[in-house]
Structures are given as C-alpha cells and as structure tokens.
Amino acid sequence: MAQPLYPVPEAWAEGALIDAEGYARRHAASLADPDGFWREEAGRIDWIKPFTQVRTTSFHEADFGIRWFEDGTLNLSANALDRHLATRGDQVAILWEPDDPANPERRITYRELHEQVCRFANLLKQRGVGRGDRVTIYLPMVPEAAVAMLACARIGAVHSIVFAGFSPDALAGRIEDCESRIVLTTDEGLRGGKKVPLKANVDEALTRCPAVDTVIVLAHTGAGVPMVEGRDIDWAAAVARQSAECAPEEMGAEDPLFILYTSGSTGKPKGVLHTTGGYSVWASMTHQYVFDYRPGQIYWCAADIGWVTGHSYVVYGPLMNGATTVMFEGVPNFPDPSRFWQVVDKFGVEIFYGAPTALRALMREGDEWVKKTSRKSLRLLGSVGEPINPEAWAWYYDVVGEGRCPIVDTWWQTETGGVMISPLPGATDLKPGSATLPMFGVKPMLLDNDGTVIEGPGEGCLVIADSWPGQMRTVWGDHERFFQTYFTTFKGYYFTGDGCRRDADGYHWITGRIDDVINVSGHRMGTAEIESALVAHPKVAEAAVVGMPHEIKGQGIYAFVTCNAEVEPDDALRKELIQWVRHEIGPIATPDLIQFAPGLPKTRSGKIMRRILRKIGENDTSNLGDTSTLADPSVVDHLLANRPQLA
C-alpha cells in the first residue's frame, strides 16, 4: 500500500540543526561508538565535576545495571536556571496562561524563576527536606509547580508528581509507596471553569498517611480552606520569609531526580525512577533536536506536569535549552474550541506539541474554530501519547498548520524519559501515522512472540536493544520488579509493551499496547487497576476490563461486571459503579461501558479468557477464535447478545 509522503520542506532542510544526511551519519555514529557520541553530547550540560566513565549498562541478569556518566556531578536546576542568568536573565522563562482568558497571564523571567526556586528550596530545607527525601507534588498547572520541581532538583530532593486529577485514594497510595513526609498543593484547581478541591483531597488522603508532617498550600483560587495547625503552611507567606539565595547541591549523575507513577499490566502503579545526569542529557538533547529548538523561541507543550511529557517537555528540556515555555492551566475547549489557537496567537507560539485525543475532540467541532484564528506564528507541530490516526494527522497538518508545519509524531514512554522514535523536522520525510525513525542512540528492534528477530519489513513486539541515557533506572523500592517487568519477556532487551510495524523504508508504525494496558485519551491505565477498583465495591463479585475503540479518546474503557448473587443489576447500579471508579482512581478512569454479565468466559482452570473479551470490546466478534476450551462456552453467547452500545 503506497503511503503519502510529505518531504521535508525546503526551508527546513536548509536551516535546520539536523538535516537528512546529518541524521543518518550521527545515528550510525551513535550506535557504532556510543561512548564517543555521548561523551560529546553530554557537553551540553554544565558538569560540576566532569565524568570519566560514559556508561556501564547491561540488560542481562548476570551483570544487570544501568549507569550513565556515573562519576560526574551536576545540578539540574543550575542547568535550567543559573546558567542562563548572564545571557538571558530577563527573557521570559515561563509564560503562563490561566484557565479563564479574562484573567491575566503571568510572565516569569529566568531571573525571577531563579529567585522563586531559591526561596522555595530554602523553605523545603527549613521543613527538614534534604538530599534523597521524597516530595509529593499534587499541584495543578500553575508556575509554582515548575518552581517546586526545580527547587527539589536544587537541593537533591526527589519529587513525585501526582496528577491533580487523581483521587484522594490514588494520591494516598503514591504518598505511602515513596514514603514522602511532605505534600505540596493548592486550595483548589481550576479546569474548564470548574473547581477541583485539591486541598480537601489531600486532607482526605492524609487520613491514611500519618507520616506526612508538612503540607504547603498555595492560595490559587482564594477559596478559604481549613488549615491543620502545625502541619499546613501558607505557601506565599512562608516563601516571603526565605532568602533568595540557595546554592545548588552537587549531585551525582546517578542520584535520583524524580519518581513518576505509571500503570503497568499488573498490580499497583510502578514508581518509575529517573536519575540526574542521563535524564538531563536526554531531555535537553531530544527537546533541542526534535523541535529544532533555538533559545528564545516561543514553545508550547500542552501536556500536564502530572505526566512525563510535562516533566521533560514543559519544564526540564525547554528550560535547560533557554526556552520560553508556555504553561497552560486550562483545557482545549474552554471557553470555546478556539482556545488553543487563540493562545497560539496571543503569545506568538512557534512550536506546538499536543495529544491526538485533544485534536480529535477539536476536529469534531469543525474547522471554523481554527480558521477564525491566525496561527501565522506556528512553524512546527508535535504529537505525543498515542498513535495519531491519519484523519487527525491530516486535520492537524492541513487545517491547524495550513500545510506549512511539519508534524513530529513522537513515540516514547514514562520509562524512556524522553523521545525515542520521531521525525526530525529538517531531516525526516513524513508519513501520516508513523513515528518514523529512532533518535540518536536508540536501536529499536522487532521480535516475534518467541523472541526471533524480525529483519526488514514486518510486525512484532517493539524492544530496544541497548541502553540510552534517559532510561529509567529502577522501580522505586522494587528493583526486582524493574528487571522482571522490562527485561525478562525477551532476554537481553528492554521490552516496551508496544506492538510495532516496520515498513520497507525502515519507518516505525506503533500499533498500540500488547499487554493489559489501555491508552485512554493518551493516559496509560492498567486494566487491572480498574478491575480492582470495581471488585472493591460491595456488590461486585468479579470484573474484567478491556479497551474498546473510541472516536475521541482513542480507547475507551469497557468493563464486564459480575455481581454478587443476591444483587439485581440495573441502571442505578451502573451509575453507582461509574461514580465509584471515579472516586477510587479519578475521572480519567471512568468506564465508558459497563456490561453486567452473569458469568465471564473462563478456561477450565478458572482463568478469564481476556482475548475473547477484548474481541467483544472491539466489536470484532466475527472470529472469536477457539472457544471450546472454555468451561462454559454459552457464557460467550450471552455476552454477545447483551453487548451494550455507546450512547
């Protein structure tokens, strides 16, 4: 099948940091001589003490370990702030756009950001936070979230950001897992005109977390929230008393930088741990090359800091590269579906990086909302979080970008720290829906289920053959789980959990998760987590959750629920279960469909045959495969006859 090809525009080929020839040459060099390549690339960082050892990495059990630049020392906040003061102290570092366009934006220069970070770092120290201590950040998209991250990095504390859309329960679990004693939050969050009771959520979570002795509360909406004497501190008042000087700690390259919890196919979310040196090099390098970034350009990544994209491409990557980074508190369709593009015009955004789910939602509202804005400042568009379907790609390219902006479709994961497979705008001809080619130092490979390497065109399980600097180092508190999860499915390789097709040009087409992880609006969710929330309900006996195609979310959540014997399932219970899951996990886990089922398809040994449920979820019931090994094949007929449809 011939794919449409969008060649690199001439202007990009001429002026870009990396052209096609440069990409091919440097990618080959990065694999042929990784030590030489990374020794040079790491020069982008101001090291306090230079490293002598580039890497000590092995994916094999006998000598398993991942260490980069290990005897070097540095401070990431100094690389994001102090190094810019002499040359761009008065340049805006963070350009903040509030939820409600009637409220004023905020422009924070590098000098101001440096001062705020120092003050906040001193406050953390005063509360007893030091090197290696974990700080839980439960903040909405306000500049203080970036201040808090950088302040942790400055003093060597390890931040763990919990998305401000998560429930008290999810928050409590993450506080407990990393044993943090301190939580940062606001009185309320604000999204699409709706208030989110963040401080109240923290209070509820902390009934389970007695070890937390400090909550720093930023007054954001000004709602008066109750403060617990001795535990809760008013952010502004406490910061005002701090010195504006705070020397950055000298951190080892392999000292922990942050933990970010992410869903896997089994059990509770994993605390993905990233360390300082390799992550800094990776976030900075990928941000610069993927976006062809030049210091001072107005750049907007629309991700929330609660996800890895917000870590690497709202805060760390851009600030290390001297960017003016836009931080948006709101949502794409408030007050109306023009909002993204109005903000682009207001600030003169040159580079916009967003998620396919938002594009699909906006596409449905019609082109007029886009066309009434100018967007003439835009030069480059990016996509992240899930596969972008060709329709959404075409709309992004033709309508939003008016055919003049390349789209970088960036494939990566929380675990990878930064972009792994992506076009470079001056180097790579585009094919809609393909993340195209690997970043420097990345060697993607396809394996079939028994581990045989697939050469040339084909489809299989996507693995990465060798380490890269931004790779996660461990699962917080469970190194064995790290090894088990990523390095045992295919011995000697990092297993991504994604399926992938490679075409005759060597382009990569991510086909989606091949484990029990679903991707809802670009958010990763383990089906097991939703199942365990459902079975925690007193009326539920058993639950199985699968993904289903969803026009806007990419995947929706389809839950099969078996109730306890005495329960008569009805619509009221369906609504109750939906509320229950929202409360247990958060609104992003809201089931789209709940099918009550007297029984689930099980093998004779009692294992749920998820393959069949997935097929029903996909509404692809023509070929359910072999059902003869089921304990009771009639269960399937009942499920098929009663499949609900999306409203």
State the minimum distance, in angstroms, from the CB of residue 614 to ligand 6R9: 16
Rounded Cα distance between 227 and 295, Å, is 42
Does 521 help bind ligand 6R9 (rule: CB under 6 A)? no
Determine the interface stretch with ligand 6R9 among 8-16, 286-294, 304-312, 464-472 (rule: CB under 6 A). 304-312
**By the 8 A CB rule, do 92 and 318 touch?**
no
Tokens of 569: 């399932």
Of 265, 413, 590, 621, the one binding ligand 6R9 (CB under 6 A) is 413
Does 510 help bind ligand 6R9 (rule: CB under 6 A)? yes
Rounded Cα distance between 212 and 129, Å, is 12
Of 70, 99, 249, 498, the one binding ligand 6R9 (CB under 6 A) is 498
**By the 8 A CB rule, do 356 and 522 touch?**
yes
Q: Is 276 within any annotated ligand binding site? A: no
CA atoms within 13 A of residue 316's CA, in its CB half-sphere: 35
Does 412 help bind ligand 6R9 (rule: CB under 6 A)? yes
**By the 8 A CB rule, do 243 and 237 touch?**
no
Within 8 A by CB and 6+ apart from 622, the residues are: none
Of 214, 297, 410, 489, the one binding ligand 6R9 (CB under 6 A) is 410
Rounded Cα distance between 298 and 293, Å, is 10
Q: Is 288 within any annotated ligand binding site? A: no
Of 385, 401, 526, 591, the one binding ligand 6R9 (CB under 6 A) is 385
Q: Is 410 within any annotated ligand binding site? A: yes
Report phi then psi at 530, rounded to 5: -70, -40
CA dihedral of residues 377, 380, 383, 384 (deg, nearest 10): -100
Within 8 A by CB and 6+ apart from 137, the residues are: 145, 148, 149, 159, 160, 161, 162, 183, 184, 305
State the minimum distance, in angstroms, from the CB of residue 597 to ligand 6R9: 28
Residue numbers 427-446 binding ligand 6R9 by CB under 6 A: 435
Judged by beta carbon, residue 93 or residue 528, the one nearer ligand 6R9 is 528
Determine the interface stretch with ligand 6R9 among 74-82, 154-162, 281-289, 405-413 (rule: CB under 6 A). 405-413
State the minimum distance, in angstroms, from the CB of residue 303 to ligand 6R9: 8
Mind giving me the DSSP string for 56-86?
A: EEE-SSTT-EEEESTT-EE-HHIIIIIHHHH
Judged by beta carbon, residue 317 or residue 385, the one nearer ligand 6R9 is 385
**By the 8 A CB rule, do 332 and 303 touch?**
no
- Angle, helices 168-178 vs 198-206, to 10°: value is 50
State the minimum distance, in angstroms, from the CB of residue 123 to ligand 6R9: 31
Characterize 199-214 residue by residue with b for buried, 16 or more Cβ atoms within 10 angstroms of its Cβ, and e for exposed. Answer: bbbbbebbeebeebeb
Residue numbers 457-496 binding ligand 6R9 by CB under 6 A: 496
Does 411 help bind ligand 6R9 (rule: CB under 6 A)? yes
Judged by beta carbon, residue 98 or residue 418, the one nearer ligand 6R9 is 418
Of 72, 417, 460, 497, the one binding ligand 6R9 (CB under 6 A) is 497
Judged by beta carbon, residue 300 or residue 411, the one nearer ligand 6R9 is 411
**By the 8 A CB rule, do 133 and 109 touch?**
no
Does 266 help bind ligand 6R9 (rule: CB under 6 A)? no
Q: Is 535 within any annotated ligand binding site? A: yes
Judged by beta carbon, residue 308 or residue 319, the one nearer ligand 6R9 is 308
Does 134 help bind ligand 6R9 (rule: CB under 6 A)? no
Determine the interface stretch with ligand 6R9 among 145-153, 174-182, 305-313, 447-455 (rule: CB under 6 A). 305-313
CA angle at 170 for the pair 331 and 209, rounded to the nearest 5°? 130
Q: Is 537 within any annotated ligand binding site? A: yes
State the minimum distance, in angstroms, from the CB of residue 274 to ligand 6R9: 12
Q: How many Å separate Cα 161 from the centre of its chain? A: 11
Determine the interface stretch with ligand 6R9 among 77-85, 184-192, 382-390, 437-445 (rule: CB under 6 A). 382-390
Rounded Cα distance between 71 and 168, Å, is 40
Judged by beta carbon, residue 214 or residue 383, the one nearer ligand 6R9 is 383
Q: 47 burial class (0-12, 13-18, 19+ CB within 10 angstroms)?
A: middle
Of 357, 414, 467, 521, the one binding ligand 6R9 (CB under 6 A) is 414
Q: Is 513 within any annotated ligand binding site? A: yes
- Which stretches of 207-355 are DSSP H helices? 235-240, 276-290, 308-310, 317-320, 339-347
Q: Is 114 within any annotated ligand binding site? A: no
Rounded Cα distance between 483 and 485, Å, is 6
Does 420 help bind ligand 6R9 (rule: CB under 6 A)? no
538: three-class secondary structure by DSSP = coil
Judged by beta carbon, residue 72 or residue 417, the one nearer ligand 6R9 is 417
At residue 72, what is the residue type?
Answer: G
Q: Is 413 within any annotated ligand binding site? A: yes
Judged by beta carbon, residue 202 or residue 421, the one nearer ligand 6R9 is 421
Judged by beta carbon, residue 192 or residue 512, the one nearer ligand 6R9 is 512
Q: Is 414 within any annotated ligand binding site? A: yes
CA angle at 139 for the pair 135 and 144, rounded to the nearest 5°? 85
Tokens of 516: 């029990």
Determine the interface stretch with ligand 6R9 among 122-130, 385-393, 537-545, 619-627 (rule: CB under 6 A). 385-393
User: Residue with structure tokens 């020794």?
Assistant: 39
Q: Is 333 within any annotated ligand binding site? A: yes
Does 384 help bind ligand 6R9 (rule: CB under 6 A)? yes
**By the 8 A CB rule, do 580 and 537 touch?**
yes
How far, in Å, are 25, 59, 100, 260 from residue 104 at the CA level? 47, 50, 9, 31
How far, in Å, are 49, 60, 136 from residue 264 at the CA level? 37, 22, 21
User: Residue with structure tokens 């180097």?
Assistant: 427
Q: Is 409 within any annotated ligand binding site? A: yes
Rounded Cα distance between 647 and 644, Å, is 9
State the minimum distance, in angstroms, from the CB of residue 203 to ligand 6R9: 28
Residue numbers 308-337 binding ligand 6R9 by CB under 6 A: 308-309
Judged by beta carbon, residue 92 or residue 419, the one nearer ligand 6R9 is 419
Of 524, 537, 550, 602, the one binding ligand 6R9 (CB under 6 A) is 524
Does 515 help bind ligand 6R9 (rule: CB under 6 A)? no
Determine the interface stretch with ligand 6R9 among 301-309, 342-350, 599-607, 625-633 (rule: CB under 6 A). 301-309
Rounded Cα distance between 73 and 424, Å, is 30
Task: Give the H or E element holding residue 175.
Answer: helix 168-178
Of 30, 57, 79, 262, the one binding ligand 6R9 (CB under 6 A) is 262
Does 409 help bind ligand 6R9 (rule: CB under 6 A)? yes
Binding site for ligand 6R9 (CB under 6 A): 262, 307-309, 383-387, 409-414, 435, 496-498, 510, 512-513, 519, 524
Q: What residue numbers does the annotated binding site for CoA cover?
A: 191-194, 309, 333, 521, 582
Q: What residue numbers does the annotated binding site for Mg(2+) cover?
A: 535, 537, 540
Q: What residue numbers does the annotated binding site cover?
A: 191-194, 309, 333, 385-387, 409-414, 498, 513, 521, 524, 535, 537, 540, 582
